[in-house]
A and B are shown apart, each in its own frame.
Chain A
Amino acid sequence: DVKVTQSSRYLVKRTGEKVFLECVQDMDHENMFWYRQDPGLGLRLIYFSYDVKMKEKGDIPEGYSVSREKKERFSLILESASTNQTSMYLCATSTQSGEPLHFGNGTRLTVT
Protein backbone atom coordinates (compact mmCIF):
# COMPACT_ATOMS: atom_id res chain seq x y z
CA ASP A 1 0.00 0.00 0.00
CA VAL A 2 1.24 3.46 -0.90
CA LYS A 3 2.03 5.62 2.07
CA VAL A 4 2.10 9.39 1.70
CA THR A 5 3.01 11.19 4.88
CA GLN A 6 2.53 14.87 5.56
CA SER A 7 4.59 16.25 8.39
CA SER A 8 1.84 18.10 10.26
CA ARG A 9 -1.89 17.52 10.60
CA TYR A 10 -2.63 20.99 11.99
CA LEU A 11 -0.50 24.12 11.78
CA VAL A 12 -1.06 27.67 12.98
CA LYS A 13 1.23 30.41 11.67
CA ARG A 14 1.32 34.19 11.76
CA THR A 15 1.07 36.48 8.76
CA GLY A 16 4.47 37.01 7.18
CA GLU A 17 6.05 33.82 8.50
CA LYS A 18 7.85 31.44 6.18
CA VAL A 19 6.05 28.09 6.25
CA PHE A 20 7.31 24.68 5.15
CA LEU A 21 4.94 21.80 4.46
CA GLU A 22 6.67 18.47 3.99
CA CYS A 23 5.48 15.40 2.13
CA VAL A 24 7.23 12.05 1.98
CA GLN A 25 6.22 8.97 -0.02
CA ASP A 26 7.53 5.44 0.25
CA MET A 27 6.56 3.90 -3.09
CA ASP A 28 9.10 5.35 -5.50
CA HIS A 29 6.42 7.25 -7.42
CA GLU A 30 7.68 9.63 -10.08
CA ASN A 31 5.00 12.29 -9.73
CA MET A 32 4.20 14.40 -6.70
CA PHE A 33 1.60 17.12 -6.32
CA TRP A 34 0.48 19.82 -3.93
CA TYR A 35 -3.20 20.80 -3.82
CA ARG A 36 -5.21 23.08 -1.63
CA GLN A 37 -8.87 22.49 -0.89
CA ASP A 38 -11.32 25.18 0.10
CA PRO A 39 -15.11 25.05 0.61
CA GLY A 40 -16.91 25.83 -2.63
CA LEU A 41 -13.68 25.85 -4.66
CA GLY A 42 -12.77 22.17 -4.56
CA LEU A 43 -9.25 20.87 -5.09
CA ARG A 44 -6.87 23.23 -6.84
CA LEU A 45 -3.39 22.30 -8.03
CA ILE A 46 -0.58 24.51 -6.74
CA TYR A 47 2.58 22.82 -8.04
CA PHE A 48 3.68 19.43 -9.23
CA SER A 49 6.86 17.57 -10.00
CA TYR A 50 7.64 14.75 -12.44
CA ASP A 51 11.17 14.13 -11.25
CA VAL A 52 13.85 15.16 -8.81
CA LYS A 53 14.73 18.87 -9.04
CA MET A 54 11.92 19.36 -11.50
CA LYS A 55 8.82 21.47 -10.82
CA GLU A 56 5.88 22.78 -12.77
CA LYS A 57 3.30 25.41 -11.87
CA GLY A 58 -0.24 24.31 -11.38
CA ASP A 59 -3.34 26.49 -11.48
CA ILE A 60 -2.61 28.67 -8.46
CA PRO A 61 1.18 28.91 -7.85
CA GLU A 62 1.24 32.53 -6.69
CA GLY A 63 2.61 32.90 -3.18
CA TYR A 64 4.07 29.37 -3.15
CA SER A 65 7.26 27.63 -4.14
CA VAL A 66 8.34 23.98 -4.00
CA SER A 67 11.42 21.89 -3.62
CA ARG A 68 12.17 18.34 -4.70
CA GLU A 69 15.74 17.47 -3.84
CA LYS A 70 15.03 13.77 -3.36
CA LYS A 71 12.55 11.56 -5.16
CA GLU A 72 10.59 10.70 -2.04
CA ARG A 73 10.22 14.22 -0.65
CA PHE A 74 8.26 17.19 -2.01
CA SER A 75 8.12 20.37 0.03
CA LEU A 76 5.69 23.26 -0.30
CA ILE A 77 6.96 26.64 0.85
CA LEU A 78 4.92 29.70 1.69
CA GLU A 79 7.50 32.47 1.49
CA SER A 80 5.42 34.95 3.47
CA ALA A 81 2.19 33.48 4.77
CA SER A 82 -1.00 35.45 4.33
CA THR A 83 -4.48 34.92 5.76
CA ASN A 84 -5.85 33.92 2.34
CA GLN A 85 -3.52 30.90 2.45
CA THR A 86 -5.52 29.44 5.31
CA SER A 87 -6.63 26.14 3.82
CA MET A 88 -6.37 22.37 3.77
CA TYR A 89 -3.21 21.35 1.93
CA LEU A 90 -3.03 17.92 0.34
CA CYS A 91 0.03 16.17 -1.05
CA ALA A 92 -0.47 13.42 -3.64
CA THR A 93 1.63 11.02 -5.68
CA SER A 94 1.15 8.90 -8.79
CA THR A 95 3.22 6.45 -10.80
CA GLN A 96 2.74 8.32 -14.08
CA SER A 97 0.50 10.88 -15.72
CA GLY A 98 -3.14 9.88 -15.92
CA GLU A 99 -2.81 7.27 -13.17
CA PRO A 100 -4.77 7.56 -9.90
CA LEU A 101 -3.47 9.87 -7.21
CA HIS A 102 -2.65 8.70 -3.70
CA PHE A 103 -3.14 11.39 -1.08
CA GLY A 104 -1.53 12.16 2.22
CA ASN A 105 -3.88 12.87 5.12
CA GLY A 106 -3.62 16.61 4.71
CA THR A 107 -2.35 19.61 6.64
CA ARG A 108 -4.89 22.11 7.89
CA LEU A 109 -3.04 25.43 7.94
CA THR A 110 -4.40 28.49 9.68
CA VAL A 111 -2.68 31.84 9.14
CA THR A 112 -3.59 34.48 11.67
Chain B
Amino acid sequence: RKEVEQDPGPFNVPEGATVAFNCTYSNSASQSFFWYRQDCRKEPKLLMSVYSSGNEDGRFTAQLNRASQYISLLIRDSKLSDSATYLCVVNIWNAGNMLTFGGGTRLMVKP
Protein backbone atom coordinates (compact mmCIF):
# COMPACT_ATOMS: atom_id res chain seq x y z
CA ARG B 1 0.00 0.00 0.00
CA LYS B 2 1.31 3.45 -0.89
CA GLU B 3 1.93 5.84 2.00
CA VAL B 4 -0.12 8.61 0.38
CA GLU B 5 -2.81 7.74 -2.16
CA GLN B 6 -4.90 9.89 -4.47
CA ASP B 7 -7.34 9.18 -7.26
CA PRO B 8 -5.40 10.28 -10.36
CA GLY B 9 -8.57 11.43 -12.16
CA PRO B 10 -8.99 13.29 -14.39
CA PHE B 11 -11.95 15.03 -12.86
CA ASN B 12 -13.76 16.85 -15.67
CA VAL B 13 -16.15 19.48 -14.33
CA PRO B 14 -18.00 22.46 -15.80
CA GLU B 15 -17.22 25.99 -14.71
CA GLY B 16 -19.04 26.88 -11.53
CA ALA B 17 -19.17 23.33 -10.24
CA THR B 18 -18.08 22.19 -6.81
CA VAL B 19 -15.49 19.43 -6.81
CA ALA B 20 -13.85 17.49 -3.97
CA PHE B 21 -10.71 15.39 -3.82
CA ASN B 22 -9.69 12.96 -1.12
CA CYS B 23 -6.26 11.74 -0.16
CA THR B 24 -5.59 8.82 2.20
CA TYR B 25 -2.42 8.32 4.21
CA SER B 26 -1.12 5.23 5.97
CA ASN B 27 0.96 6.61 8.86
CA SER B 28 -1.33 7.38 11.81
CA ALA B 29 1.40 9.48 13.47
CA SER B 30 1.54 12.00 10.62
CA GLN B 31 1.21 15.60 11.79
CA SER B 32 1.75 17.85 8.77
CA PHE B 33 -0.57 17.93 5.79
CA PHE B 34 -0.55 20.12 2.71
CA TRP B 35 -2.20 20.56 -0.66
CA TYR B 36 -0.03 21.67 -3.55
CA ARG B 37 -1.08 22.74 -7.02
CA GLN B 38 1.00 21.90 -10.08
CA ASP B 39 0.36 23.33 -13.53
CA CYS B 40 1.49 21.45 -16.61
CA ARG B 41 5.31 21.50 -16.93
CA LYS B 42 5.67 23.76 -13.91
CA GLU B 43 6.84 23.22 -10.34
CA PRO B 44 4.43 22.39 -7.48
CA LYS B 45 3.27 25.38 -5.47
CA LEU B 46 1.82 25.35 -1.99
CA LEU B 47 -1.94 25.83 -2.12
CA MET B 48 -2.73 25.47 1.56
CA SER B 49 -1.76 23.74 4.76
CA VAL B 50 -4.37 21.49 6.36
CA TYR B 51 -5.11 22.00 10.03
CA SER B 52 -6.94 19.74 12.45
CA SER B 53 -9.85 22.15 12.68
CA GLY B 54 -10.11 22.48 8.92
CA ASN B 55 -9.35 25.67 7.06
CA GLU B 56 -10.72 27.77 4.28
CA ASP B 57 -9.09 30.12 1.80
CA GLY B 58 -11.60 31.75 -0.51
CA ARG B 59 -13.17 29.06 -2.68
CA PHE B 60 -10.90 26.36 -1.26
CA THR B 61 -11.61 24.34 1.90
CA ALA B 62 -9.32 21.70 3.35
CA GLN B 63 -10.38 19.14 5.94
CA LEU B 64 -8.51 16.53 7.98
CA ASN B 65 -10.10 13.32 9.23
CA ARG B 66 -7.61 11.65 11.55
CA ALA B 67 -9.87 8.74 12.46
CA SER B 68 -10.16 7.65 8.84
CA GLN B 69 -6.72 8.98 7.88
CA TYR B 70 -7.66 11.16 4.97
CA ILE B 71 -7.56 14.78 3.97
CA SER B 72 -9.85 16.47 1.52
CA LEU B 73 -9.85 19.52 -0.70
CA LEU B 74 -13.10 21.16 -1.78
CA ILE B 75 -13.16 23.71 -4.57
CA ARG B 76 -16.33 25.76 -4.96
CA ASP B 77 -17.38 27.73 -8.03
CA SER B 78 -14.66 26.17 -10.20
CA LYS B 79 -12.82 28.46 -12.62
CA LEU B 80 -11.07 27.53 -15.83
CA SER B 81 -7.84 28.61 -14.11
CA ASP B 82 -8.31 25.92 -11.45
CA SER B 83 -7.36 23.30 -14.07
CA ALA B 84 -4.19 21.70 -12.70
CA THR B 85 -2.92 18.69 -10.81
CA TYR B 86 -3.48 18.78 -7.05
CA LEU B 87 -0.90 17.01 -4.92
CA CYS B 88 -1.52 15.79 -1.40
CA VAL B 89 1.54 15.92 0.88
CA VAL B 90 1.94 14.26 4.27
CA ASN B 91 4.87 14.01 6.65
CA ILE B 92 6.09 10.52 7.56
CA TRP B 93 7.44 10.39 11.10
CA ASN B 94 9.22 7.07 10.76
CA ALA B 95 11.14 8.34 7.75
CA GLY B 96 12.85 11.29 9.41
CA ASN B 97 9.70 13.40 9.26
CA MET B 98 10.03 13.59 5.50
CA LEU B 99 7.23 14.93 3.37
CA THR B 100 5.75 12.32 1.05
CA PHE B 101 3.77 13.23 -2.05
CA GLY B 102 0.71 11.56 -3.42
CA GLY B 103 0.59 10.92 -7.15
CA GLY B 104 -1.74 13.85 -7.72
CA THR B 105 -5.30 14.33 -8.92
CA ARG B 106 -5.83 16.04 -12.25
CA LEU B 107 -8.65 18.54 -12.52
CA MET B 108 -9.96 19.87 -15.81
CA VAL B 109 -12.54 22.64 -15.66
CA LYS B 110 -14.48 23.06 -18.90
CA PRO B 111 -16.36 26.14 -20.15
Residues of A within 8 A of B (CB): 40-43, 45, 48, 56, 88, 90, 94, 97-106, 108
Contacts and interface: CB of A to CB of B under 8 A. Distances in A.
A103 B43 contact: yes
13 contacts: A41-B103, A42-B101, A42-B103, A43-B101, A94-B99, A98-B97, A98-B99, A100-B34, A100-B46, A101-B44, A101-B99, A103-B44, A103-B45
Interface in B32-58: 32, 34, 41-46, 49
Nearest to A101: B99
A4 to B, nearest CB: 9
B111 interface: no
A7 B29 CA distance: 37
B34 to A, nearest CB: 6
Nearest to A56: B96
B97 A100 contact: no
A25 B43 CA distance: 15
Interface in B90-106: 91, 96-99, 101-104
A40 B6 CA distance: 12
B101 A104 contact: no
Nearest to A91: B43
B35 to A, nearest CB: 10
Contacts of B101: 42-43
Contact of A106 (B42, B87, B104): B42
